[in-house]
Chain A
């Protein structure tokens, strides 16, 4: 076993990426994040557009952007953090870039991404929250 695979095998049981549904850049997703307050734990849902996925394996990070009161809010999580309880896909969209950082400069209608309506066989029939 080469070094890279050996190191990956150490964290294999902590990688939870395959527990999530398939989601791609540009999709609107719900991230259910665990929030620990003292002894209590609750779930907070953060809904937004997935701007980027970077890194691989245990190190993968996701960046989600949403607009709150006309102010852009971005949150970044390690995808395999135990603090992420669940990820749901709300709406699938057609992104033609690997990173959607350009959305930060967009205002109004141009902020929207085109729906993924046709030709995307790899996600056809996969459920989303909106159906």
Chain B
């Protein structure tokens, strides 16, 4: 019955806990989200809840989308996203229902999905953490290069081609990133704020999705269920 919600990453700060330990937290403005469509098995072949988030001027939206949001009784919304649910849970939602951060009351761990900051075209050292080459001992003009990218008919594949997925230079960042199982520090239902421990992907003001943790690291146990 737990679907995710959309929100805005506002920034980071710190809070002190009861043991006087400083905890770095990210402040996320969650919602208010509106249920804009219910996907049913009979009609669509799967069960999901579509939610909309974010104000938008009507003139920047499109006529079809304005109509789509109006069906839920909402103003034009900027972002829409579907969250799959069990068929039997679908009855817990209705068109036009407002979903706020209070849905995370009692949730211990959350996953946060965002778009990481774009770093542009980067080399292997920054992008994948390669070591590069030596600083001296005869190394010339290759201190940050990748090193060998294949050999011996590329490890007995006998094709002699590069392996698929070989880590090389390329675009870094500006991709969808999920950070899992972040502890929830505080839920401020009044202001719609969620404080989670640690950083989340993306710049401030960027769009993020927050959902109760799907799977927990073994060390954190089952506390989030």
Contacts and interface: CB of A to CB of B under 8 A. Distances in A.
Contacts of A11: 13-15
Contacts of A3: 10-11, 204-205
Interface in B172-225: 186, 188, 191, 193, 195, 204-205
Interface residues of A, number: 17
Contacts of B13: 7-8, 10-11, 58-59
Given A81-B20, A81-B22, A10 B27 contact: yes
Interface of B: 10-11, 13-16, 20, 22, 27, 186, 188, 191, 193, 195, 204-205
B15 A14 contact: yes
Contacts of A14: 15-16
Contacts of A4: 11
A35 to B, nearest CB: 11
B194 to A, nearest CB: 11
Contact of A7 (B16, B20, B27, B205): B27
Given A3-B10, A10-B13, A82 B20 contact: yes
A119 B11 CA distance: 41
A78 B20 CA distance: 11
Given A11-B15, A78-B22, 11 more contacts: A3-B11, A3-B205, A6-B191, A7-B11, A10-B13, A11-B14, A14-B15, A58-B13, A58-B14, A78-B14, A82-B20
Interface in A47-84: 58-59, 78, 80-83
Contacts, number: 41
B15 to A, nearest CB: 6
A14 B195 CA distance: 15
Q: Per DSSP, are chain B's interface residues mostly helix, strand or loop, or mixed?
A: strand
A3 B28 CA distance: 11
The 6 closest A-B pairs by CB, nearest first: A82-B20, A3-B10, A7-B13, A7-B11, A83-B20, A82-B16
A58 to B, nearest CB: 6
Contacts of B188: 10
Contacts of B14: 11, 58-59, 78
B63 to A, nearest CB: 33
Residue from A10, A14, A34, A83 whose CB has the most chain B CB atoms within 10 Å? A10
18 contacts: A6-B191, A6-B193, A7-B11, A7-B13, A7-B27, A10-B27, A10-B186, A10-B193, A11-B13, A11-B14, A14-B15, A34-B20, A36-B20, A78-B22, A81-B16, A81-B20, A82-B20, A83-B20
Contacts of B191: 6
Contacts of B204: 3
Contacts of B15: 10-11, 14
A106 B64 CA distance: 73
A55 to B, nearest CB: 11
